[in-house]
Amino acid sequence: MDRIIVEGGRRLSGEVRASGAKNAALPILVSSMLTDGPCVYDNVPALKDIESICLLLEDLGAKVETSGSKVQIDAKGIFKHEASYELVRKMRASVLVLGPLVARMGRARVSLPGGCAIGARPVDLHLKGLELLGAEIKIEHGYIDAIAPKLKGAVIYLDTVTVTGTENLMMAAVLAEGETILQNAAMEPEVVALADVLKGMGADIEGAGTPEIRIRGKASLSPVKASIIPDRIEVGTYMVAAALTGGDVTVTGCNPHHMMSVMDKLRQTGIKVDVVGDSAVRINGNGHIKSIDIKTVPYPGFPTDMQAQFMVLMSVADGRSVITETIFENRFIHVSELKRLGADITITSGSTAVVKGVPGLSGAPVMASDLRASASLILAGLVASGETEVNRVYHLDRGYEKIESKFEGLGAAIRRVRE
Ligand code: EPZ
């Protein structure tokens, strides 16, 4: 397993370009199953999770061709309705094939995605929505079996805001008979991006980006060419890196409108954040970081995927910060690793951690556990004295494209040791 070694103390400066968003690319690549022609996507990030979803689509019978950040998918040849455990266990977002498979094939058999480090990650709302659309759902031997010769539009209230739940049901509804209304829908930019691609295929969707999405089903959809939106979580990660190191970093190729809550929180810590044109942000870390409280909530609030990164910033801030995680029940795994680096963090309840800023962190070997926790360990290594060795970086490779070369380009002393 590869390791990444970071020598702390370097001030980051310069420019770094955002990659395409993993969490937009995954549902958009899957949406190619809703038509019988070659769909062409660009600005697709080169990530392990993207490889996994392409392997799954090929296993179902689609033709996938990749060249650089361009991916072409032709679903004409899809002949299977079963997504195997082998493939789904590698990435729980594979559950996104459920809705499109039922819409296309009239049935689907998808391995029930297991939980992961950050929580149980149930898919009950995905299944409730499909049942309301007329699918008969059975769960046995660890598989979801969904049968629906023809899905029919319905009003679906989602008890919890769910990003992939909203995406799965939107993809099922675009080929259903009649009108579907998703209530309490997720408003993340990745949901809006998927809706835009589906509309490009001829789908009739209104309200994406609001809590109520109205979908009028169509008999068929056409192939599309689309570009993946920038990854707002990757951008936020580099913004925090600049703040941590007192650096001067411009992140290009991003969409500042997707970063409002992260930019606001960074400004509250005293960091200078400027929007440059309509596709770049510039961060000037003036070295002094004020402690503030954060609470993760669905978009447009502060994103849970930025919680670990922000905790690192608060661990070297000038006071006490209360961090509340409301989305996942176990998303503080990075706390014990950060404490090995000298951070002063106390988990006061399942969802709350109190961070007391310390003058500095000290490098040590640490263990990555989930994607964003791994990124937070790299960030901590950038400011810790001495060397920090992050193990199990395969977690990182799932969601951060060329992370060490991007950080090296900003002046970090970082290298990967391939095992
Ligand atoms: C998406 O996960 C993202 N993944 C996650 O990013 C992100 O953290 C999360 O949304 C929240 O923003 C992708 O888009 C591929 P949810 P998702 O369904 O859709 C509960 C990363 O690092 N819930 O919005 O799986 C669930 O337990 C990943 O890139 C149900 O109870 O998250 C959680 O508490 C990590 N029943 C809450 O809703 C359901 O049927 C939000 O989960 C579905 C979800």
Question: Which structure tokens are listed for 413?
Answer: 């002393």
> pLDDT at residue 376 above 90?
yes
* Residue 35 DSSP symbol: S
> pLDDT at residue 87 above 90?
no
What confidence tens digit (pLDDT) does each residue in 104-141 have?
A: 999 999 998 876 778 878 899 999 999 999 999 999 99
> pLDDT at residue 99 above 80?
yes
* pLDDT range class, residue 315, cuts 50, 70, 90: very high
> pLDDT at residue 288 above 90?
no
The pLDDT value given to residue 162: 98
* pLDDT range class, residue 168, cuts 50, 70, 90: very high
Among protein residues, the one with the nearest Cα to ligand 1's atom 9 is 163
Active-site residue, from 39, 54, 116, 254: 116
The pLDDT value given to residue 370: 86
> pLDDT at residue 281 above 80?
yes
Active-site annotation holds for 116:
yes
Report CA Rg, the chain. 21
What confidence tens digit (pLDDT) does each residue in 217-271 have?
A: 999 999 999 999 999 999 999 999 999 999 999 999 999 999 999 999 999 999 9
Strand partners, 145: 109, 138
Q: Provide the CA 148 distance to its chain's centre, in angstroms.
A: 30
The pLDDT value given to residue 120: 77
Is the beta carbon of 296 within 6 A of some atom in ligand 1? no
Mean pLDDT of 372-394: 95
Closest to 22 measured CA to CA, from 45, 56, 1: 45
Transcribe 266-294 into DSSP letters: HHHTT-EEEEETTTEEEEE--S------E
The pLDDT value given to residue 119: 81
The pLDDT value given to residue 340: 96
Mutate to test the pocket of ligand 1, among 130, 132, 164 (most ligand atoms within 8 A of CB): 164
Transcribe 325-351 into DSSP letters: E-S-TT--HHHHHHHHTT-EEEEEETT
Mean pLDDT of 166-178: 98
Please, what's the b/e burial string for 200-212 (b: 16 or more CB within 10 A of its CB; e: otherwise)? bbbbebeebbeee
Question: Please, which residues have CB within 8 angstroms of residue 122's CB and are 6 or more apart in sequence?
Answer: none
Mean pLDDT of 48-53: 95
Q: In angstroms, rounded to a whole number, what is the distance separating the alpha carbons of residues 374 and 135? A: 38
Closest to 92 measured CA to CA, from 31, 169, 160, 168: 168
Closest to 398 measured CA to CA, from 375, 365, 364: 375
Q: In angstroms, rounded to a whole number, what is the distance separating the alpha carbons of residues 244 and 5? A: 18
The pLDDT value given to residue 146: 97
Is the beta carbon of 306 within 6 A of some atom in ligand 1? no
The pLDDT value given to residue 279: 97
Is the beta carbon of 291 within 6 A of some atom in ligand 1? no
Closest to 39 measured CA to CA, from 16, 62, 56: 62
Contact between residue 173 and residue 180 where contact means Cβ atoms under 8 Å apart: yes
Question: Please, which residues have CB within 8 angstroms of residue 51's CB and are 6 or more apart in sequence?
Answer: none
What pTM was estimated for this model as a whole?
A: 0.97
What confidence tens digit (pLDDT) does each residue in 387-419 have?
A: 999 999 988 999 999 999 999 999 999 999 998
* Cα-to-centroid distance, 230 and ligand 1 (Å): 19
Q: What is the mean pLDDT of the chain?
A: 96
* pLDDT range class, residue 39, cuts 50, 70, 90: very high
Mean pLDDT of 359-374: 93
